Structure 1
């Protein structure tokens, strides 16, 4: 079970990530079947001289093994284009979150609330508590309400970064002077970890992302306490 968890993707926490995992698993199954079939055909051709002559001179076989992969590629392209569209579409967000990448930390701004912004640094190993995750936990977690459509606006202050949270199915570049946006919705409470996925300098591996999904009441209580 542990080996399968290591080889598989992270458990999804958003509808888009569920679609990505479904697409990945089924496309991998199709590709494995194709590779197995092609490998079998090649090995048969190499070690059987009669079939070798038949395969090389038969136009029907050539037509079949050219057209079938083309049809399969069409069936792969259609759901992938649909997913690409859904990943870029921002559908009536209820809240806007802005993040800016710095060397080497993230800053966050809740645009719907006045004066609610903070910087998020990785907790050094010598300052961690027993409940913290080494190289992944931060001093200020990004709190978001569960089951709420959130638009995140992403930029950078110095070099190119990449805001990535695998459990949410988000990976968006943070580019200086440019605003990128993404949309997500968390389907369950919990902590979701991510990291900068763009090589942005010496401390590139030390600017993690922590998203904490909570209930709406807990989120409003956190906003109230943060604004006091």
Structure 2
């Protein structure tokens, strides 16, 4: 079965990303069908542009229409960006994620633990299942601070629409608002 969508999202930011992906996919599909249909009509009629050297209307159209398409693509992107910024006003809890060479460390004001990947086997997801899971409550806004102890690491949870690079000596942050409890695998 053909599946063109993303994973099931677990946050509003992820839902915005999924809607934006679907919107841009349909827009690109429409433009591709339109251009292919236009080229096939011109090809069948034998019409060639070899006689024309200058046409100001064509130049106006091929400048204005892509600009209009980019404007329509920017609106949902800005809505998602401003929504993620509004989450910072109601933060309920903080936690830190520290990237190490072979594992991740999670800490909060109450606990600290290291998260190691399980060895392959026993029906577990390869390179995704861990020994100690990090639990988040639903409908609570979290501020997550990211850093690294050695090199650049990339932390992502696709269901939340979250991907942050962890740099040594620098703190990055993001906001999470899980909609429902569940098992969410990071990478």
- TM-score, with structure 2 as normaliser: 0.88
Matched, 1:187 2:179: yes
Structure 2 unaligned regions, length at least 5: none
- Greater helix share, 1 or 2? 1
- CA deviations on 1:44-91 (whole Å, 9 max, x unpaired) are 334433474798765444433432221121111122133234345523
Separation of aligned partners in 2, 1:27 and 1:55: 34
CA-atom RMSD, angstroms?
A: 2.3
Contact 1:45 1:52 in 2 (8 A): no
Deviation for aligned residue 1:125: 2.3
Is 1:160 matched with 2:157?
no
Whole-Å separation in 2 of the counterparts to 1:50 and 1:10 = 45
Partner of 2:98 in structure 1? 100
Instruction: Give the secondary-structure state (helix, strand or coil) at the position aligned to 2:20.
Output: helix
Taking structure 1 as reference, are residues 150 and 166 closer, same or farther at Cα in structure 2, changes over 3 Å only? Answer: same
Q: Secondary structure of the equivalent of 2:27?
A: helix
Q: 2:132 aligns with which of 133, 140, 155?
A: 140
User: Structure 1: any 5+ residue segments left out of the alignment?
Assistant: 196-228
Alignment match, 2:107: 109
Structure 2 residue 68 is the aligned partner of structure 1 residue 71: yes
More strand by share: 1
Aligned twin of 1:150: 142
Measured in 2, the distance between the counterparts of 1:118 and 1:133 equals: 21
- Whether the 8 Å contact between 1:151 and 1:181 is mirrored in structure 2 is yes
Higher relative contact order, chain-length normalized (CA < 8 Å, sep 6+): 2
Alpha-carbon separation, structure 2, partners of 1:55 and 1:45: 15
SS in 2 for 1:173: strand
